Amino acid sequence: MTIHSDHPFVPPEGDRDPLRRLRGRMPSPVTVWATGEGRGRAGLTISSLLVAGGEPARVLGLVDADSDFWDADPATWVVNVLGVEHRFLADVFAGTAPAPGGPFTSGTWTDSRWGPVLDGSAGWMGVRLADTEPRPVGWGLLVEAVVEHVEIGDADAMMHVRGRYREVGPTT
């Protein structure tokens, strides 16, 4: 076996998708969308989202159509905004880190009327699926939800840039 510094699954420089490379340079929030209760809980790490103010406010997100999140048939869910201390949890819900006992064994969760809330997050929104049907966009589903409740946490938010989690520091 040869050990080298290159990642074995990253294509050579000239074969990489330029759109994906550009998108990776644009900071994205890191959230976990969580729904259900007890053994019926489901969640997914989502970084492709937009929060739109208005009456009512909306959340738009690109969600993997094949994810377990849709198996729960969510009408409501919680958009948990992760802090830098939740790096591992983000990977667990993205399916890239192990979670013996299931993903909700990572972190401490409290049930709300919209779904599971992560204790110590940067904040969360309780949302319900809007009247519009999720529709295919790119490799995901464009999902629209109406914001019904917002809580601000004490942690600073985390962002994802160039394949890495980074802390968003406090503003002055």
Whether domain 30-161 has CATH 2.40.400.10: no
Q: Which residue has the tokens 């989502």?
A: 46
State yes or no: pLDDT of 4 exceeds 60.
no
CA distance readout (Å), 159 to 35, 75, 112, 129: 22, 27, 25, 25
pLDDT of residue 156: 87
The pLDDT tens digits for 27-36 are 889 999 999 9
The pLDDT tens digits for 13-24 are 777 777 777 777
Element (H, E) at 32: strand 31-35
